[in-house]
Amino acid sequence: MPRAPVFGIASVSLPIVTAVSWFFFERSPSHGNALNGYFGLFLLAFLYVGTLILMGGGFVLGIAALVRRESGKVLGVFGIVMNIAVILRIFA
């Protein structure tokens, strides 16, 4: 009996949350003014470290979805692809 796609959904939702947070902090004018001071450096470091942690976790969750043979195999594969795409977009 196939299992519910819990890990697949989580592996797809993590890159969405990360991309939205990057988009918000890059485009928001009220937070963009703070990027000149120490708060901006802290925020940037937090975003980079948080991105690495979340995308690594999303990648692992996508693999776990495939190993567990969840009902939505497409979600696991799509999660892995999305996590790699976000990492390449941010760090390349």
Q: What is the pLDDT of residue 57?
A: 93
d(CA 1, CA 40): 49
Domain boundaries, the chain: 6-91
Amino acid identity, residue 51? T
d(CA 50, CA 59): 14
The structure tokens listed for 38 are 């120490």
- pTM score, whole prediction: 0.79
Q: What is the pLDDT of residue 85?
A: 93
Q: What is the pLDDT of residue 82?
A: 93
Q: What is the pLDDT of residue 41?
A: 74
SS3 42: helix
**Which tens digit of pLDDT belongs to each residue from 11-66?**
999 999 998 988 887 776 665 555 566 777 777 788 889 999 999 999 999 999 99
**CA-wise closest residue to 65 among 79, 53, 51:** 79
Q: To which residue do tokens 């948080």 refer?
A: 50
